Structure 1
Amino acid sequence: MESFLSAILGELISRSMNFIINKWSKPLTLDMEESIQGALLQAQVIIEEAMGRHITNQAMLLQLGMLRDAMHRGYYTLDAFRYQPHYGEGANDPSGRRFLTLSKAPCVKDLYFTSPTVQFQEQLREALDKLRSMIVDMNELVMFLMSYPRLYRQPYSMHILLCNCMFGRQMEAQLVISFLLHTKPHSSEELEVLPVVGPLGVGKSTLIAHVCKYERVRDYLSEILWLHDCDFTDDELTFRQGGAMKRQILLSNLKKGKRLLVVIELYGNLCEDGWNRFYRASRRSFLSGSKIIVTSCSDKIVKFGTTPALTLKHLSPEAYWYFFKTLTFGSTDPEMHPRFAQLVMEIARLQIRSINSAYTTSNLLRDNFSIHFWCKVLSFLRGFIQKHICKFGVHPFELLNKNKPVQLGRMASLSEDFMICHEYRCSPQEGVPEIRMQDVMYGSNKKQGKFEVLGWRSQIPPYYSYVYVCEIRERKITGAKRKHCVEDGATSS
């Protein structure tokens, strides 16, 4: 009898505590949500204003970079709280039921989607405290910020700004500008070289081209010459016949006594002896104030620099979410479409911070603003990614980011294999395929065999178009049993 009463008493106490927690936690979270939203808007105003100004003070750039990271983290935490799965919603309509099924489907583990409300509150409070502290410290910085000249007129919408400006690279851009405009004493004969290192597709060439469009840089440098591996006969930087025109441009500007910027994009190895000969010849002939920038995926080029190398890394998960969300929704407010926003957050997470995929997928979703279609895209991505990991042990987008052959799928035809052989980029003057990547991967295009598709066109310098060489072939059906993969307690075939 005593044990029975003890059990009842324990249950009553437990229910009472749950009632009190539920009663008070919701208003607390709502108040905190409003507070962090206000702090994020303040931070966003400062960041967007700073993006449009030519800031030379390195300490200010560092402080702005910290505020930007805190803002991205705050938005990520707030959105993860807002758009966590609510399984009771939308159960009466087909789209809602489909949405709930996807929400319960297995996916990559993420702290924000598995944490209870209490942990969300702690994360929100931590993000809010950090933002408030940083904004208070920014008071003097904001006053100094207004004294720096503008780079361009601010567009009315952030998504337009992201489409026409390099996202998240302001500090790196200012470092390159400082390098280009830095002048050595006349007695110095050193030709300055800046190595730029980073993984494939991180935006090394885009960063340099973006910087070169600034008026101060164009006024200082009379000519900007881009050289690639294909312009040389070997790894010793000897011009091949096809590079004769660039060589002629180089010699012509040298005769006119003009300052030059030579950008060398390397994809392979570079012979040290060949580089030394090229550097000595350039130092003898280049006008004082001329510069060289060398880009490569390999950090072996660091030793060729006369200044510390600039290393580019992929966007953080929080920054990538902010970037992808803004591209996808455009001028539409995500808060008005919470179910769409949750789907987008899961799609963004599956893309492992791929910039190419961000542009391709965001365009696709924006052009097909339908909950049914977005659910279908998420289900398709989860399915073929999980199968690829089970079969090959690696995420397909990871191979895609490294420009390695990868097997994808087709949403409209599950009986076909969609293979990406490799990617290459085209200049604005070159022709590109009419067929788009999303038409083949998500649409009903019936192309067969080997062909090329347009991945996406960059809207910022150097305005490259990214083209994939791909192949579609019928999947062979065998009598063997399908392999099953069990991961995180979920089974897929």
Structure 2
Amino acid sequence: MTTWERKSQSEQPGEDKRSLKESPQMDILLSAVLGELTTRSIDFFIKKIFKPKALDVEDRLHMILLRAHVIIDEAMGRQITNQSVLQQLDMLRDAMYRGCYTLDTFRYQVHSEEEAKGQVLSHSLSLSKVNSPQGLCSSSRNPQILKQLNNSLDDLSSMILGVEELVVFLASYPRLYRQPYSMHLVLGNCMFGRQMETEFVINFLLHARPHGSKELDILPIVGPGRVGKTTLVAHVCEDERIRDHFSEILFLRDHDFTVVDLATVREGYAMEYKNRVSNSNKDGRLLVVVELVGNLNEDAWNRLYSAYTRDVPSNTKIIVTSRSDKIIKFGTTQALSMKYLSHEAYWYFFKTLMFGSTDPKMHPRLACQAMEMARMSKRCFIAANMFACLLRDNFDIEMWCKVLAFTRGQNNKNILNFGGHPFDLINQKRPAYLGRMVTPFQYIVLHRGNECSKQEEVPKIKLQDVMYGSITAHGKFEILGWRSRIPPYHSFVDICEIQEVKTTSAKRKRSV
């Protein structure tokens, strides 16, 4: 046996002992690694198997939206006076609008992507292919939409659970008389989304002050132009409870404040509303609605207020509307601040008017076009009604695409050349330059006109007839922008001037 063999045999027992000592440590390490891998693998497979699919979330959100619709529709048919109940309903309504907007964005995103890629829409494409789940599954590739779907589903589910007692309370409120019209007819003939504000004003007007108080009740209503302040007050004055409560309602503007004597003021204005019963039963109660058009003239306001405190009964109520927040300090109660509707609420209104009693899911490509039109309309109710009158009875995809492309081009031209959207330019009393879809060699210079009452005569030519129709007209004339179907039934008359597009032919110069 060699020396090396003897040495190897002498070292083997020691190595075996060390390997026996290290073996438990290796087993612990290996078991820990294997356990971690196993746990992660199981988690991965569980998430893979039970991950919520977009179409499943879509169906669940659709069902919860139906429940929210039932509650909101029932509330719209009730005369609710409790402000806390109205606030809860308003929160539920906003969540429902957000859910509808998110769901529609998911449903029609695939068609929006096709438009963005420049694909030509074919009218011969069958509806079965358009509505197939395979066509909609591409929308699930966007994780942001899926996240929004889940958020809307969670918000609505928690709100529905929170208003279960509220649904029971709704039955205790009296019903309002309403014909069983389609929803687009109801929304087209009512003030959309202002139920809480309406009841807030009515509660102020019907609230009685303690006897002996000489201070007049004043409610300031503030908000930007065209937000609906005048329309809200007109709706309130049409309410039967208000007509039965006041002897007369007087409307004033700030340029009328030069007359100090109340008797002279009352002689100069016709009473718009009169009570059907004897004035003696109402103690001569008077409602004064003051519309501040320009800047607030504090001296004139103080003269008017002193005249009213001297000459009218103590239970007279005053409503002041203005774009300026300065009038808030004159109020004796909390001011009502009105804001524009959210994009989601406007889309609900816009979609209902555009499709009427037709389900938008039957025309997903048209619904995609409508969403783009709603975004371009800047939450303008006149624009929504114009598009509805033009396209609701014509579900032709080529016509809708043509109107959308034309409107998009006109908006972009005004923003690029004149620094603003056509609606913004008109509201700023600046001219807007619009083309004519049928006669492209002509364009329209549109100036903001006046608001006419329902008694005044209005032009027969409408704005949509000039922009999208083939009506023959030349020069400068008045057109009817829109005639409102809700109080105070104003007609918006604008000034239109048709001009010819100038074409310049460049002559080539021959180089000698």
TM-score by length of 1: 0.82
Matching residue of 2:10: none
Q: Quick one: which of 282, 286, 291 aligns to 1:265?
A: 291
Aligned residue in 2 for 1:370: 396
Question: Which amino acid letter does the alignment assign opposite residue 431 of structure 2?
Answer: P
In structure 1, distance between residues paired with 2:441 and 2:326: 44
* Bigger Cα Rg: 2
The residue aligned with 1:448 is: 474
Q: What is the rounded CA distance, in whole Å, between the counterparts of 2:354 and 2:51 in structure 1?
A: 30
Distance across 2 between alignment mates of 1:26 and 1:381: 42
Partner in structure 2 of residue 465 of structure 1: 491
> What SS does structure 2 have at the residue aligned with 1:126?
helix
Residue type of the alignment partner of 1:421: H
1:161-172 aligned at under 5 Å gives the runs 161-172=186-197
The aligned residue for residue 297 of structure 1 is 323
Matched position secondary structure for 1:424: strand
Deviates more, 1:368-377 or 1:346-355: 368-377
Give 1:274 deviation, angstroms.
1.2
Gaps of 5+ in 2: 1-44, 126-137, 507-512
For residues 143 and 154 of structure 1, the distance between their equivalents in structure 2, rounded to whole angstroms, comes to: 24
Which residue does the alignment assign to 2:170? 145
1:279-311 deviations in Å (ceiling 9; x for gaps): 111122222322111112222322222222211
Q: For residues 470 and 25 of structure 1, do their structure 2 counterparts lie closer, same or farther at Cα, with a shift above 3 Å needed? A: farther
Q: Given that residues 477 and 496 in structure 2 are in contact (C-alpha distance below 8 angstroms), is that contact kept between their aligned partners in structure 1? A: yes
CA distance in 2, matches of 1:456, 1:229: 26
Deviation per residue, 1:382-412 (Å, 9 max, x gap) = 1111111111222222223444422222212
> Residue 79 of structure 2 contacts residue 174 of structure 2 at CA under 8 Å; is this kept in 1?
yes
The letter for the 1-side match of 2:109 is Q
1:352, 1:398 within 8 Å by CA — same for their partners in 2? no
**Partner Cα distance (1:395, 1:371) in 2:** 26
Shift of 1:255: 9.4
Q: Paired residue for 1:317?
A: 343
User: 2:156 matched to 1:131?
Assistant: yes
1:423-481: CA deviation from partner (whole Å, max 9, x where unpaired): 3211111111100110001111221111111122211111111111121111333469x
Secondary structure, counterpart of 2:161 in structure 1: helix
Greater mean alpha carbon deviation, residues 148-157 or residues 57-66: 148-157
1:178 positional shift:
0.9
2:64 to 20, 39, 55: 39
Cα distance in 2 between the residues matched to 1:25 and 1:369: 40
Letter in 1 for 2:481: G
Aligned CA distance change for structure 1 residues 161 and 474 (closer, same or farther; 3 Å)? same
Say whether residues 1:382 and 2:408 are aligned partners. yes
Q: 1:85 to 1:416 in 2, by over 3 A?
A: farther
Q: Distance between the aligned counterparts of 1:141 and 1:310, measured in 2? A: 25
2-structure distance, mates of 1:270, 1:38 = 50
**CA 1:259–1:308: 2 relative to 1, 3 Å:** same
State the shift of 1:68 in Å. 0.6
Q: Quick one: which of 171, 188, 191 aligns to 2:213?
A: 188
Question: Aligned letter for 1:32?
Answer: V
The 1:164–1:155 alpha-carbon spacing in structure 2 relative to 1, beyond 3 Å, is farther
Q: How large is the RMSD of aligned CA atoms in angstroms?
A: 3.1
Give the structure 1 partner of residue 364 of structure 2. Answer: 338
Does the 8 Å CA contact 1:328/1:362 hold for their aligned counterparts?
Answer: yes
1:177 paired residue number: 202
CA distance in 2, matches of 1:271, 1:27: 61
Q: Which residue of 1 aligns with 2:462?
A: 436
Question: 2: distance between equivalents of 1:237 and 1:116?
Answer: 68
Q: Shift in Å at residue 52 of structure 1?
A: 2.1
Q: In the superposition, relative to structure 1, how do residues 438 and 115 fare at CA in structure 2: closer, same or farther (>3 Å)?
A: farther
Which residue, out of 411, 417, 441, partners 1:391?
Answer: 417
Q: Which moved more, 1:158-167 or 1:412-421?
A: 412-421
Q: 1:207 to 1:473 in 2, by over 3 A?
A: same
2:38 corresponds in structure 1 to none
Structure 1 counterpart of 2:34? none
Q: Which moved more, 1:336-345 or 1:391-400?
A: 391-400
1:471 counterpart SS class:
strand
Report the CA distance shift for 1:115/1:383 in structure 2 as closer, same or farther (over 3 A): farther
Equivalents in 1 of 2:481, 2:261: separation in Å? 31
Q: Quick one: structure 1 residues 433 and 247, their matched pair in 2 at CA, closer, same or farther if it must change by over 3 Å?
A: closer
Task: Label 1:186 to 1:60 Cα distance change in 2 as closer, same or farther (>3 A).
Answer: same
- Count of residues in Structure 1 that have an aligned counterpart in Structure 2: 440
Q: Which residue of 2 aligns with 1:158?
A: 183
2:55 — aligned with what?
30
In 2, Cα distance between equivalents of 1:237 and 1:402? 30
SS in 1 for 2:53: helix
